[in-house]
Structure 1
């Protein structure tokens, strides 16, 4: 079929359309049908197929300084989008269209149903069927000088992806942003803690849960000796300067440890220092292509109660995460969020291995092209986007056989 290419890389062959991998045992190659998407191709390539890419960057979601009194990075530096046609010719839209919303139309005043999922009983197991439930948090820090511009856009993109690609019901998606009028839906520390409990409340076999956070992330010294690097990772609520941060230990105890058998939790965290933000005991090493032990040195319990927890983080624990401008140079998005959503739209149901590979390939393309990077950004990131998204899990699995399905 036109447009389909069989691509060869270091691990063999795959279809450029669905990225299904397969073996070719003969050199006498004619037309080949992909057994996954049924597309036929006689074209072959040794180069990676195009993958969605960053269009430009701004400043990081945290300053290089870390610790309990560290301050996230200063104001955003917006760069002109010079590579949209190079990396996204098939996705280019007229600048007069709404660049922030794709797929489902969203209310301009709220991203929650009325009543919200937090107070509604609609997300309970009334039918006895497995449930899909999501908590999406985007923190702008409007009243602070280190405010972020892309976090609400991030939440909108993830919400649309859940609805359009994974059949989540709107009434089962809880959104916390500063745009919400209801004070219970503001991303304060208290509300985030309550919402995390709501996410896993009464979960049972077959349920699919999603936790998403876009905002500032920090590190602080580890005082209970359960971290291999000596630091706890944290997320910052809107009121963290007054109420404090939320530690990885707390997130693990609230949404990871209670997970019963048959329940799957996915966390996507687009923040600085977010690598092991769920304190999961296995971290995937992309270079070595194997799982590494991340269990606490002091023997603390960090496992689930039989369920499966999987986390995709914007960067490693000691790295910063950046925003990107999409399409027209005006809309801000977290780099991980933007890339992940575009990949899922173009390649539905990729394996976790292919998903992580494509995310890294996209960042490498941006680093190699250097397109649209301002002098300030080049200085802050040492001429490169220094973030390596990380995959971690509560148990090991074959990343090139298990598919990313929420």
Structure 2
């Protein structure tokens, strides 16, 4: 790893550069750009908050290696191709929701026609399902989760297929494989150029793990992670990195919903408030060392499959058609039956459904039967960047 010669003189913050990007020379945190112009790119460390600069213009032109150019190019090839039941003719006939939104396909911010849609609310979603086909701890329900979530967004919330990016191992396009690099680029795409009125969705179904917190910004002493398909070689994606990539940039008027169906996913976005369902109150989850975890004025809401110290089920308990993540399947069924549900009712119904499955004696996968003794031992969790009225605010994506 080499040291970049450019630094911010006032902060004495040195950038460390390797083949995967920049990191803080002091904290070794992965860095993501906060300001980009012709002559330089500025980074801010999520741990020590220092800012440094590096030469270059990483998002220039239409190169397929850029966050906008590469992913937008993939989207154009991919649009309306994933799952044959939603061909272009049917998708274009989908009616938008009550926002009276008439979105256009994803465009580069430099496109002359982009200004026509700048003043309109837009919806954009990133759906990731990781099966880990070549690993012994393979998951079988993640692609089903993605398929079901995509249908929900289109049919119930007015998302356009061309604004939904899917990463799974079933995709033939290499850039749509859920590798660490592709996920990181896609996360940047999700929030790029977002503005007031936008509704963004991040969905992940796969393995989640946790590791000791070396930055002292976690109240429980652990960082939560999601596992890309190549995590055994390239490493996991930490909650710190997810927070700095898709939570920090959210401007006022933008809402991000994260739905993560993975083990140890309770605070996977590192949001500063966690809802205690039993006490009906928001609890402080802000970093004890004062590290920035808040948005830039927008609202981030996360629904996680379980608490940070729990495991999540990949199960056949709900349908004979195949495996599904427990949170994803239950959430979708509830929203379809109760489209005007509040966050409080949604949480209560999810917990009640899990209790009903446990009490009914339904058996699911052989591995989970031995681990959980025929029980789904997970408590889905709600967290947010700021408190809101859980019993009054409706769940709308």
What TM-score, normalized to structure 2?
Answer: 0.71
Moved over 6 A (4+): 109-113
Match of 1:342 in 2: 333
Contact 2:363–2:369 (Cα < 8 Å) also in 1:
no
Structure 1 residues 392 and 125, CA, compared in 2 at 3 Å: closer, same or farther? farther
Once the two structures are superposed, residues 46-86 of structure 1 have per-residue CA deviations (whole angstroms, 9 ceiling, x without a partner) of: xxxxxxxxxxxxxxxxxxxxxxxxxxxxxxxxxxxxxxxxx
Residue correspondence of structure 1 range 81-160 to structure 2 within 5 A: 107-108=82-83, 120-121=106-107, 126-127=116-117, 128-160=119-151
Which of 372, 380, 387 is the matching residue for 2:371? 380
CA shift, 1:349, in A, is 2.4
The structure in which a higher percent of residues are helix is 2
Contact 1:109–1:179 (Cα < 8 Å) also in 2:
no
Q: Distance in 1 between matches of 2:364 and 2:251?
A: 46
Which of 304, 307, 324 is the matching residue for 1:313? 304
CA shift, 1:377, in A, is 3.6
Which 5+ residue runs of structure 1 have no aligned equivalent?
1-104, 114-118
SS at match of 2:356: helix
Q: Distance in 1 between matches of 2:318 and 2:362?
A: 13
Which of 269, 280, 292 is the matching residue for 1:289? 280
CA shift, 1:325, in A, is 1.9
Superposed CA RMSD in Å reads 2.3
Contact 2:212–2:222 (Cα < 8 Å) also in 1:
yes
Contact 1:275–1:315 (Cα < 8 Å) also in 2:
yes
SS at match of 2:323: strand
Q: Does 1:399 find its partner at 2:393?
A: no
What TM-score, normalized to structure 1?
Answer: 0.70
Match of 1:188 in 2: 179
Contact 1:225–1:297 (Cα < 8 Å) also in 2:
yes
Structure 1 residues 202 and 292, CA, compared in 2 at 3 Å: closer, same or farther? same
Once the two structures are superposed, residues 342-394 of structure 1 have per-residue CA deviations (whole angstroms, 9 ceiling, x without a partner) of: 00000002100000000000011111221235776443114421100000000
Structure 1 residues 297 and 340, CA, compared in 2 at 3 Å: closer, same or farther? same
Which of 359, 363, 371 is the matching residue for 1:368? 359
Match of 2:270 in 1: 279
Which of 247, 272, 275 is the matching residue for 1:256? 247
Q: Distance in 2 between matches of 1:398 and 1:112?
A: 39
Q: Distance in 1 between matches of 2:367 and 2:245?
A: 39
Contact 2:363–2:374 (Cα < 8 Å) also in 1:
no
SS at match of 2:166: strand
Structure 1 residues 378 and 125, CA, compared in 2 at 3 Å: closer, same or farther? farther
CA shift, 1:142, in A, is 1.2
CA shift, 1:129, in A, is 0.8
Q: Does 1:303 find its partner at 2:294?
A: yes
Contact 1:226–1:299 (Cα < 8 Å) also in 2:
yes
Q: Distance in 2 between matches of 1:217 and 1:299?
A: 25
1 or 2 for the larger relative contact order (CA 8 Å, sep ≥6)?
1
CA shift, 1:218, in A, is 0.3
Match of 1:268 in 2: 259
Q: Distance in 1 between matches of 2:209 and 2:220?
A: 14
SS at match of 2:216: coil
Contact 2:362–2:374 (Cα < 8 Å) also in 1:
no
Which of 199, 204, 207 is the matching residue for 2:195? 204
Contact 1:112–1:170 (Cα < 8 Å) also in 2:
no
CA shift, 1:109, in A, is 7.2
CA shift, 1:328, in A, is 5.2
Contact 1:111–1:175 (Cα < 8 Å) also in 2:
no
CA shift, 1:107, in A, is 4.4
Contact 1:139–1:238 (Cα < 8 Å) also in 2:
yes
Q: Distance in 2 between matches of 1:324 and 1:167?
A: 29
Structure 1 residues 211 and 111, CA, compared in 2 at 3 Å: closer, same or farther? farther
Structure 1 residues 374 and 336, CA, compared in 2 at 3 Å: closer, same or farther? closer
Match of 1:333 in 2: 324
Contact 2:313–2:326 (Cα < 8 Å) also in 1:
yes
Q: Distance in 1 between matches of 2:310 and 2:395?
A: 25
CA shift, 1:120, in A, is 4.8
Contact 2:316–2:365 (Cα < 8 Å) also in 1:
no
